[in-house]
């Protein structure tokens, strides 16, 4: 009597797949690295890269292929190092330029011509009234839109301000978040011209902000939205080169037109104010 020794073979295991968590970690590391090397969006990169690092480590202990987890781990480390280098380099250049400006008197000054003196002797009250008025470019006496101000290295013109720009900003990029409740996007269109002897970078040498009617400052780096036709703040400009573009700012809706636009040259430069409308 014979015995059937043939038994069905167990099915071969399917090829291991990449871990879902490893895939998420890799995507997070890529996005974080991109933002980490953009000065205006460094904070996003510094938030995403540690998250990618932790997800990658967890993914390495899961079943499945480890490739994406390894790549995510390596990229999160490289991205962090790159972000630190960009930040330190930008800070060093800003400090150096600010010191040079302080030595050479580099604060932005209006290039508007001074009004000619009256031929007839003014009354005694007139000089007192003029002396009491704040100079142009201050928060209480901002420059009108279209005014050009300059120092030894930069000339900056605030060309226009689009107060109701929420739809335009949201349509510019799918990653742009909607403004917080009670806020709206505005677009500040500016032209920056480098007039120094070497090279300059707007992201390092210039900063743009909005001061509300209540005196609260909204910096450009507080808004992570990408503006349509954005000002290329990372452009390296040689003498007499200029760029024009938009800066997006999320400001309170109820006083959007009552605030002022602020331009600051370097870390230690004086603020120069422009009307928002």
* Residue pLDDT, tens place only, 180-201: 999 999 999 999 999 988 888 8
> Average pLDDT for residues 191-219, to the nearest whole number?
89
Query: Are the CB atoms for 225 and 233 separated by under 8 Å?
Result: no
Residues 117 and 217: their CA atoms lie apart, in Å, by 37
Q: Is 266 exposed, middle or buried (0-12, 13-18, 19+ CB in 10 A)?
A: buried
125 pLDDT tier (thresholds 50, 70, 90): low
Comparison of pLDDT for 267 and 207, the residue scoring more: 207
Q: Which pLDDT belongs to residue 238?
A: 94
Q: Could you tell me what percent of the chain has a pLDDT over 90?
A: 29
Residues 50 and 45: their CA atoms lie apart, in Å, by 9
Comparison of pLDDT for 233 and 167, the residue scoring more: 167
Query: Are the CB atoms for 22 and 72 separated by under 8 Å?
Result: yes
- Asked if CATH classification 2.60.40.1240 holds for the domain at 135-275, the reply, yes or no, is yes
Interior CA angle at 60 toward 54 and 61, to 5°? Answer: 100
Query: Are the CB atoms for 18 and 67 separated by under 8 Å?
Result: yes
Q: Read off the tokens for 11.
A: 């099915």
**φ/ψ (deg, to 5) at 154:** -140, 145
Residues 164 and 271: their CA atoms lie apart, in Å, by 25
Residues 97 and 224: their CA atoms lie apart, in Å, by 26
Q: Which pLDDT belongs to residue 79?
A: 81
> Average pLDDT for residues 201-208, to the nearest whole number?
86
Neighbouring-strand partners of residue 249: 186
Query: Are the CB atoms for 227 and 169 separated by under 8 Å?
Result: yes
The residue ranges of every structural domain in the chain are: 20-102, 135-275
Q: Read off the tokens for 127.
A: 């000089």
Q: Please report the sign of the dihedral spanned by the C-alpha atoms of residue 229, residue 232, residue 233, residue 238.
A: negative
Nearest C-alpha neighbor of 207 from the set 132, 266, 140: 266
Q: Which pLDDT belongs to residue 260?
A: 94
Q: Which residues lie closer than 8 Å to 75 by C-beta, 6 or more apart? A: 26, 29, 30, 33, 52
R_g over Cα of the chain: 27
Q: Could you tell me what percent of the chain has a pLDDT over 70?
A: 77
């Amino acid at each position: 009597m014979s015995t059937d020794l043939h038994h069905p073979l167990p099915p071969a295991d399917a090829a291991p797949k990449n871990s879902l968590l490893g895939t998420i970690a890799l995507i997070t590391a890529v996005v974080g690295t991109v933002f980490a090397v953009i000065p205006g969006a460094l904070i996003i990169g510094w938030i995403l890269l540690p998250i990618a690092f932790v997800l990658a480590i967890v993914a390495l202990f899961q079943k499945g292929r480890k490739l994406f987890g390894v790549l995510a781990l390596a990229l999160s480390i490289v991205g962090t190092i790159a972000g630190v280098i960009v930040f330190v380099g930008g800070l060093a250049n800003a400090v150096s330029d600010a010191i040079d400006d302080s030595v050479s008197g580099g604060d932005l000054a209006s290039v508007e011509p001074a009004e000619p003196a009256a031929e007839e002797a003014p009354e005694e009250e007139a000089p007192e009234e003029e002396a009491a008025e704040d100079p142009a470019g201050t928060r209480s006496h901002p420059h009108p839109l279209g005014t050009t101000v300059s120092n030894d290295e930069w000339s900056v013109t605030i060309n226009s301000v689009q107060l109701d720009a929420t739809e335009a900003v949201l349509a510019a990029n799918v990653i742009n978040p909607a403004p917080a409740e009670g806020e709206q996007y505005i677009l500040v269109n500016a032209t920056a011209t480098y007039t120094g002897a070497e090279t300059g970078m707007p992201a390092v040498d210039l900063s743009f902000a909005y001061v509300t009617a209540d005196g609260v400052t909204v910096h450009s780096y507080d808004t992570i939205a990408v503006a349509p036709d954005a000002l290329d703040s990372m452009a390296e400009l040689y003498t007499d080169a200029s760029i024009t573009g938009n800066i997006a700012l999320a400001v309170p809706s109820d006083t959007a037109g009552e605030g002022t636009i602020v331009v600051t040259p370097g870390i230690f430069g004086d603020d120069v104010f422009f009307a928002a409308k």
